[in-house]
Amino acid sequence: MREIREALIDAHRAVGKTNPVAPSITNFVTVEFVANAQLAIGGSAAMVYLPDEGEAMCRLAKSIYINVGTLIPSHKETVPRTVKCARENAAYVLDPVAAGMGDLRTELLQYMKAYPPRIIRGNASEILTVAKLWGLIDGTSGKVRGVDATESVETARAAAEHLAAYIGGAVAVSGKEDLVTDGKRTVVSKGGSAYFTRITGSGCSLGGVAAVYLAVADPFVAALAATNAYNVAGKRAEAQARGTASFQVEFLDALSNLTAEDIAACEMEEV
């Protein structure tokens, strides 16, 4: 774990020094939260909607974040063009929100198998669904209730490891305790807050922050740095919050005040 902790410190310090931009095609409901979280951690944000913008950003930035939570007709062109360009020129983080719901979402996720992301971040049900959709595991339910998981993080471990090996990157499974794997190393990160499930955008913004770290670190370190940052900041914010609204404010403050050592000191264990 010492080597991992040192890599986390290096990643966070690199973000602070370089202020990397990580553009996003993201859920309309959570655009502001995603951008503010990226800024709080030391990165820079830019929101993308049009097909040519996605390609342009992939040539300018080292990483991009793609969230399929709220799709509109133009995404049918924007997302495929962007992921293809990102795979060829940069890297991208995928958040397969509500995977398995709707034809367009399924079509886009199937397309991504040929141009896979370097990081996939989702809840257990979403990770199971993507692994099944890509033919990496045999049948499993992976059902979602809206955008919420009906499966446990541990249930999704094998699927996450298969996905990570296939994409040559990392998968982060969010839950009461979070799991991050590159297919060879698997770490459980602890902390966070029960408030994460009571506000909009905690998962979406985590994906955006992972994209910031991906601009300066390898996928496993980037995914774990983002996850640890959320677990430390979430725990601190909950201690100060009076409810869901104040939690969001306290959380962004905690995120912006994190040190590299805080992220490396998050409670975690290899499993």
Q: What is the pLDDT of residues 55-96, one digit of tens each?
A: 889 888 999 999 998 888 889 999 999 999 998 888 999 999
Query: What's the rounded Cα separation, in Å, for the pair 180 and 161?
Result: 9
Q: In terms of residue numbers, what domain contains 167?
A: 1-270
Amino acid at site 116: P
CA neighbours closer than 13 Å in the CB half-sphere of residue 20: 26
CA dihedral 7, 12, 13, 14 (to 10 degrees): 90
Q: What is the pLDDT of residues 164-205, one digit of tens each?
A: 999 999 999 999 999 999 999 999 999 999 999 999 999 999
Q: What is the pLDDT of residues 121-169, one digit of tens each?
A: 999 999 999 999 999 988 655 444 444 445 678 889 999 999 999 999 9
The pLDDT of 91-110, averaged and rounded, is: 92
Q: Is 1 annotated as a binding residue?
A: no
CATH of the domain at 185: 3.40.1190.20
DSSP string over 122-140: EEHHHHHHHHHHTTSS---
Q: Which of 100, 183, 109 is nearest to 149 (CA)?
A: 100
Asked if residues 194 and 143 have their Cβ atoms less than 8 Å apart, the reply is no
**Domains of the chain: total:** 1
Q: Is 201 annotated as a binding residue?
A: yes
Give pLDDT, residue 1: 86
Cα→Cα distances 78→28, 29, 69, 242, 263, Å = 15, 18, 14, 40, 34
